[in-house]
Amino acid sequence: MNYIKRLLLSFVGLLPYFVMAQVDTNDIVRPVASAWEIGVGHTSIADTYLSPLQYDGMGIDLRYERRRAMSFNPDKWTMAFDVSVGVDRVLNPARNSLMWSGNLDLSWGMMHRWRLPHSVILAAGGSTSLDLGCIYSARNGNNPASAKAAWTINLTGELSWSTLLAKRRLVLSYRPTIPITGLFFAPNYAEPYYEIYLGNADGLCHGAWWGNYFKMQNRVIADWYLSRTTALRIGYDGTIFSTRVNNITTQMISHSVVVGVSGEWLKFAHGGTRNENSRIISALY
């Protein structure tokens, strides 16, 4: 009985140390990494529903990006949310016919990351995307527009390296994304949208795979921190998009230079403050 009593007293005496250890382990701060950027560059569009010719011109894209370490395992899992809106203005080879293209892309996903030597981080995971858009030809009278809509499940990855430049943090990253399956919309060859409006909905929804739907986005980003929370972003964004279904081929290729502002901000619930002993886990490095 005395042995059990001494054991309980010893456990009670050590309890504060266990509590402190648990607090130190779980008291983690996960900064929200956000970026606002604009991309400008060259775009080429070919859509045989509208024209057999390839059109070339300029495109502009506005993008918002949000990243954060996940709460259930912040050291190894991160979340990414992206929104982009783009507009393209392209001309035919004779430069006498104009086409416009607009698109809205939404994406959310998670990645598992591995910390490698020399401040290198490798991450891989998946995401789901919703892409909506339209191509409009000013020359066509009967079928002037080609609508685009797709929901896809994607493979995502990231390779990043953190270093110092002029005594300030510099994060270089490469981020590829490629869909593996999903659903997308495509009308039948020469089918007017008025017929679809009247109820002819056969053959409009298609299962996406690499044989009829291919899209790959490559992003190379450099974030140079001008302060503890704010960074200048410069990078490259290249996208290849192609569909082949219902005897209609669509191909869009874009190359853009990206400039923007990024940063990390601490987020506390109910107006709380950071514990000095808390550990900060970034989604970027």
User: Is the model's pLDDT at 22 over the cut of 50?
Assistant: no
For the ranges 9-13, 43-47, 94-98, the maximum mean pLDDT occurs at 43-47
Distance CA 4, CA 8 (A): 6
Categorize the per-residue pLDDT at 55 as very low, low, confident or very high, splitting at 50, 70 and 90. Answer: very high
User: Is the model's pLDDT at 62 over the cut of 60?
Assistant: yes
Kindly indicate whether the domain formed by 30-280 is annotated with CATH number 2.60.40.10: no
Reported pTM? 0.83
Mean pLDDT to the nearest integer, 42-54: 95
Categorize the per-residue pLDDT at 71 as very low, low, confident or very high, splitting at 50, 70 and 90. Answer: confident
Given its phi and psi angles, is residue 54 left (phi above 0), alpha (psi -120 to 50 degrees) or beta? beta
> 210-265 pLDDT, tens per residue?
999 999 999 999 999 998 889 999 999 999 999 999 999 999 999 999 999 998 87
Distance CA 179, CA 98 (A): 30
Categorize the per-residue pLDDT at 268 as very low, low, confident or very high, splitting at 50, 70 and 90. Answer: low
Residue 276: Cβ within 10 Å count? 6
Distance CA 254, CA 238 (A): 6
> 104-117 pLDDT, tens per residue?
999 999 999 999 99
For the chain, percent of residues with pLDDT exceeding 70: 87
In angstroms, what CA-CA distances link 120 with 80, 104, 170, 171, 253?
Answer: 19, 32, 12, 10, 30
Write down the H helix ranges in the chain.
2-26, 193-198
At a CB cut-off of 8 Å and minimum separation 6, what does 30 contact? Answer: 68, 69, 71, 74, 267, 280, 281, 283
